[in-house]
């Protein structure tokens, strides 16, 4: 007897990635030999190593999660749905380090290896996680000729009104990071974008083998084994980044996470974090990252914004702000184009010309084998329910290590 387990409703190995948000799955009989009735009860469990990820199950879109699930599987090959999620606090360390097993009695009748792929604190990445991320990022840049050039060109002075200074600041950057992350995953599927938690010391980040060590001039030095030594943007080699703080500690003056989350329970109050901590995190350095038009030349920029997005995600979870229909979840006022809930966002919508920028680099938002949202042309509204808390199909396929479902 054999069953097939489909993760994210797909038989493709590319879809075998999970987050804390439940993924829709299917199990079906592919070889009914030995079955005696119209269906067989299959017990589905997760098997992991001590340092690997862990998973939990439930039968529908609601209800409690459990460590195992019994599913009656018809012998005629009809698929039976179930849901699986990463167990909060147990992300994977590498691709395929969790196995989902199906058994009848004690007999193994099917299994697939999956990864609980979660955005983690960059300061705590393992050496292998760090190296995979750095290699994927360098390959995406490909000495300034790769797909990364689009991401650099999306975040410039010309395009900045689409993304800054109004309510859509957080939604735009969420889509931007997701697009980048999916491109990184096309290089190495095991990579999730890490975040720089800027209100805490992150000494491991500012090392030769990671994002580099700045000399007194602000020129970033990298080890000879670091692929980022070939980083190039706008035709120019390397990165300039001059910290105005000791990189063994956190930059001074920034609101802490607790202070940021306490800015207010209404989105309008929370989004003032664009100035502090976001703006001040940028200007804790001299160099590319300290100006809006050049910030995306520095890989650190993406880790900084990943933390900004994490803070928003945490605030959403803390206050239940996933539902765009509730006024507190977003700023209900009238905003410039690209900042209102129903607006599509540039550049993914491909719209050019006043009031949008003259070009739209990069095309549609990258698709993912693990989630269909937010679609190729995301709206502001589509970015809010990133976990699928309100509607399961809105799930975008990313989660943070300290923000539960």
Partner 1 sequence: MATKRKATKKATQTRKRGGSPRTASHRAVAVATSPRRSVKERTAAAAQSPLAVCESEKDFQAMLKVLCDTTEPVKVRLAALQSLQAASFSVLSFEGCRGDYIATLRQVAEDHDPELRQRALGMLMREKDGFAQKKLLEGLRDPDKALLPPEKALQLLSYDVHADAYEAARAIVRKPPNETARREALRLLAADATAAPLFERLLLDKNELREIRQIAASALYALRPERMQKHARDILMDRSDYDDIKATSLTALTQLGDETLPQDAALMKSVGRFSTGKTPPKYKQTARRFLSKYGQ
User: Which position among 80, 201, 292, 328 is part of the footprint of partner 1 (CB under 8 A)?
Assistant: 292
Under the criterion CB under 8 A, does residue 280 sit at the interface with partner 1?
yes
Rounded to whole angstroms, the Cα distance separating 34 from 100 reads 22
Binding mask 217-246 for partner 1 (x = CB under 8 A): xxx-x-xxxxx-xx-x--xxxx-x---x--
Binding residue (CB under 8 A) for partner 1 from 39, 204, 283, 326: 283
Using the minimum distance from each CB to partner 1, give the nearer residue, 110 or 161.
Answer: 161
Considering only 32, 124, 144, 332, the residue that binds partner 1 (CB under 8 A) is 144
Q: 39-48 and 213-214 as β-strands: parallel, antiparallel, unpaired? A: unpaired
Q: How far apart are CA 264 and CA 81, in angstroms?
A: 40
Whole-angstrom CA distances from 319 to 23, 251, 275, 294 are 24, 27, 21, 34
Q: Which is nearer to partner 1, 77 or 355 (CB)?
A: 355
Residue carrying the six token digits 């001590």: 50
Q: Are 70 and 41 in contact (CB under 8 A)?
A: yes
The C-alpha atoms of residue 344 and residue 395 are separated, in whole angstroms, by 18
Q: How many CB atoms lie within 10 A of CB 106?
A: 6
| Binding residue for partner 1, selected from 336, 350, 361, 375, defined by CB under 8 A | 336
Query: Rounded to the nearest whole angstrom, what is the least distance from the CB of residue 398 to partner 1 in the complex?
Result: 24
- Please name every residue paired with 213 in a beta bridge, in sequence order, or none if there are none: 221
Q: Is 188 in the site for partner 1 (CB under 8 A)?
A: no
Complex with partner 1: residue 74 or 264, whichever CB lies closer: 264
- Quick one: which of 398, 218, 220 has its CA closest to 309? 398
Q: If binding is defined by CB under 8 A, does position 358 make contact with partner 1?
A: no
304: which 2 tokens? 């900084």
Q: Where do runs of H (alpha helix) occur along 122-279?
A: 127-141, 148-154, 169-187, 257-261, 267-270
Residues contacting 163, CB < 8 A, separation 6+: 155, 169, 172, 173, 176, 338
Kindly tell me which residue out of 86, 161, 362, 378 binds partner 1, with binding defined by CB under 8 A.
161
d(CA 380, CA 344): 6
95, 139, 207, 319: residue in contact with partner 1 (rule CB under 8 A): 139
Q: Which of 89, 253, 320, 404 binds partner 1 (CB under 8 A)?
A: 253
In the bound complex, what is the minimum distance in angstroms from residue 17's beta carbon to partner 1? Answer: 21
Residue 327, C-beta contacts closer than 8 angstroms, at least 6 positions apart: 266
Q: Could you say whether residue 328 binds partner 1 (CB under 8 A)?
A: no
Could you tell me which residues come within 8 angstroms of residue 105 by beta carbon, excluding any fewer than 6 positions away? none
Out of 81, 243, 264, 375, name the contact with partner 1 by CB under 8 A.
264
Q: How far is the CB of 294 from partner 1 (least distance, A)?
A: 5
164 binds partner 1 (CB under 8 A): yes
Instruction: Candidates 30, 51, 246, 291: give the one binding partner 1 (CB under 8 A).
Output: 291
Q: What is the dihedral sign for C-alpha 287, 292, 293, 295?
A: positive
Binder to partner 1 among 93, 135, 187, 328 (CB under 8 A)? Answer: 135
Smallest separation (angstroms) from partner 1 to the CB of 337 = 11
Which of 81, 218 has the CB closer to partner 1? 218
Segment lying near partner 1 (by CB under 8 A), choices 59-67, 283-291, 326-334, 343-351: 283-291
Of 238 and 375, the one with the shorter C-beta distance to partner 1 is: 238
Burial 314-350 (b: 16+ CB within 10 A, else e): bbbbebebbbbeeebbbbbeebebbbbbebbbbbbbe
The rounded Cα 180 to chain-centroid distance in angstroms is 9
Q: Which is nearer to partner 1, 48 or 141 (CB)?
A: 141
Half-sphere exposure for 17 (CA within 13 Å, toward CB): 24
Helix (H) or strand (E) holding 301: helix 300-319
Site stretch for partner 1 (CB under 8 A), options 109-117, 139-147, 351-359, 378-386: 139-147
Name the residues that contact partner 1, by CB under 8 A.
Answer: 131, 135, 138-139, 142-144, 157, 160-161, 164-166, 169, 209, 217-219, 221, 223-227, 229-230, 232, 235-238, 240, 244, 252-254, 259, 263-264, 269, 272, 274-276, 278-280, 282-284, 286-288, 290-294, 336
């Amino acid at each position: 007897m054999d069953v097939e387990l489909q993760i994210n409703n797909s038989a493709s190995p590319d879809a075998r990635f999970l987050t804390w948000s439940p993924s829709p799955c299917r199990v079906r009989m592919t070889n009914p030999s030995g079955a005696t009735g119209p269906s067989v009860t299959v017990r589905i469990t997760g098997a992991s190593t001590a340092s690997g990820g862990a998973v939990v199950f439930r039968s529908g879109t609601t209800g409690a999660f459990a460590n195992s699930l019994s599913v009656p599987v018809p012998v005629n090959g009809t698929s039976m749905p179930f849901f699986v999620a990463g167990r909060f606090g147990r992300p994977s360390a590498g691709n395929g380090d969790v196995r989902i097993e199906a058994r009848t009695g004690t007999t193994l009748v099917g299994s697939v290896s999956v990864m609980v792929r979660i955005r983690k604190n960059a300061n705590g990445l393992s050496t292998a996680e760090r190296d995979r991320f750095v290699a994927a990022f360098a390959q995406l840049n490909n000495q300034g000729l790769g797909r990364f050039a689009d991401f650099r060109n999306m975040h410039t002075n010309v395009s900045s009104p689409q993304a800054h200074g109004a309510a859509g600041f957080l939604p735009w950057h969420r889509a931007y990071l997701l697009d980048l992350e999916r491109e990184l995953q096309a290089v190495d599927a095991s990579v999730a974008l890490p975040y720089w938690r800027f209100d805490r010391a992150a000494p491991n980040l500012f090392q030769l083998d990671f994002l580099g060590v700045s000399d007194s001039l602000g020129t970033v030095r990298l080890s000879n084994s670091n692929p980022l030594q070939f980083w190039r943007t706008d035709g120019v080699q390397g990165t300039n980044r001059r910290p105005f703080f000791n990189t063994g500690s956190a930059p001074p003056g920034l609101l802490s996470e607790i202070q940021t989350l306490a800015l207010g329970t209404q989105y309008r109050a929370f989004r003032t974090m664009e100035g502090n901590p976001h703006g001040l995190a940028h200007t804790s350095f001299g160099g590319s990252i300290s100006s809006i038009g050049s910030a995306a030349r520095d890989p650190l920029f993406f880790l900084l914004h990943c933390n900004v997005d994490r803070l928003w995600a945490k605030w959403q979870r803390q206050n239940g702000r996933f539902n765009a229909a509730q006024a507190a979840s977003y700023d209900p006022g009238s905003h410039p184009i690209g900042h209102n809930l129903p607006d599509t966002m540039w550049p993914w919508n491909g719209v050019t010309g006043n009031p949008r920028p003259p070009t739209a680099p990069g095309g549609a938002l990258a698709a993912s084998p693990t989630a269909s949202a937010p679609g190729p042309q995301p709206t502001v509204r589509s970015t809010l329910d990133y976990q699928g808390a309100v509607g399961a199909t809105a799930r975008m396929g990313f989660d943070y290590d300290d923000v539960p479902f």
